[in-house]
Amino acid sequence: MMGREVKNIVLIGFMGTGKTSVGLRLAQKLGMQFIDTDSMIEDESGMKISEIFAKNGEEYFRDLETNLVRRICKLCNFVIATGGGIVKRAENVDNLRSSGLLIWLDASPEVILCRTSGFNHRPLLQVPDPLGQICKMLKEREEFYSQADHRVDTSNLTVDEVVDKIIDIFKGAMKIGRDPR
Ligand code: S3P
């Protein structure tokens, strides 16, 4: 963190780890603005994510994400919740990192299954064996998520408990980043 500007707080992590709920509450508590990359993509394209995947495929969706990240990394004083696969492109991780503190929200596969089942808006989990898919994707993505500055396991925490942990981390990062002169 040393020497890097903490302009924003960026939440990365797998589907169902609480990025949107935590991000909203965190922004509220810190008096920052909030954006969610999935919602922005839906607003800008006028399509639901599931429709984009079905009509144009995953790579097209990833292009929209990459293009959006190039723009949002210039923002200041935002909590940014990202889509779970945004870290698959190194360019996105670099841009998000340059824009602020990178927090990885994590959870166990069972908790992720529990939080995501009952919803059908995530095309990548609409498979016959969602738990197997979650385990496989978590394994594949761990190396990307672990590039974050901090990891918070949300499995057994409430939204407010996660938020308070991030606020502590954020305050610590601000102290370290402060110019001592
Ligand atoms: C995806 C996660 C989703 C959404 C899309 C793809 C992924 O976002 O971007 O369905 O690849 O992990 P959430 O993590 O907000 O569910």
Mention every residue, 6+ apart, whose C-beta is less than 8 A from residue 102: 10, 12, 93, 96, 147, 148, 149, 150
Please indicate whether residue 22, judged by its CB atom, sits closer than 6 Å to ligand 1: no
Res 92 pLDDT > 50? yes
Inter-residue contact 10 to 103 (CB < 8 Å): yes
Determine the average pLDDT of the residues in 41-67. 98
pLDDT for position 118: 87
Range 73-103 burial, b when 16+ CB lie within 10 A, else e: beeeebbbbbbbbbbbbeebbebbbebbbbb
Res 140 pLDDT > 80? yes
Please indicate whether residue 124, judged by its CB atom, sits closer than 6 Å to ligand 1: yes
The answer to which of 16-20, 113-117, 173-177 has the lowest mean pLDDT is 173-177
**Atom 10 in ligand 1: which residue has the minimum CA distance?**
122
Res 86 pLDDT > 50? yes
CA atoms of 10 and 99, how far apart (whole Å): 8
Task: Provide the token pair at 146.
Answer: 């672990």
Ligand 1, from 92, 122, 135, 137: best to mutate by most atoms within 8 Å of Cβ?
122
pLDDT for position 154: 98
Q: Which atom of ligand 1 is nearest to the CA of 17?
A: 14
Res 27 pLDDT > 90? yes
Q: Where are the alpha helices (DSSP H) in 119-158?
A: 130-145
Write the pLDDT tens digit of every residue in 145-159.
999 999 999 999 999
Task: Provide the token pair at 60.
Answer: 């097209």
Strand runs labelled E in the chain:
8-13, 33-36, 78-81, 100-106, 150-153
The answer to which of 1-15, 81-95, 107-121, 161-175 has the lowest mean pLDDT is 1-15
pLDDT for position 181: 44
Please indicate whether residue 123, judged by its CB atom, sits closer than 6 Å to ligand 1: yes
pLDDT for position 179: 52
Q: How confident is the model at residue 175 (pLDDT cuts 50, 70, 90)?
A: confident
Please indicate whether residue 15, judged by its CB atom, sits closer than 6 Å to ligand 1: yes
pTM, two decimals, is: 0.95
Mention every residue, 6+ apart, whose C-beta is less than 8 A from residue 114: none
Inter-residue contact 45 to 64 (CB < 8 Å): yes
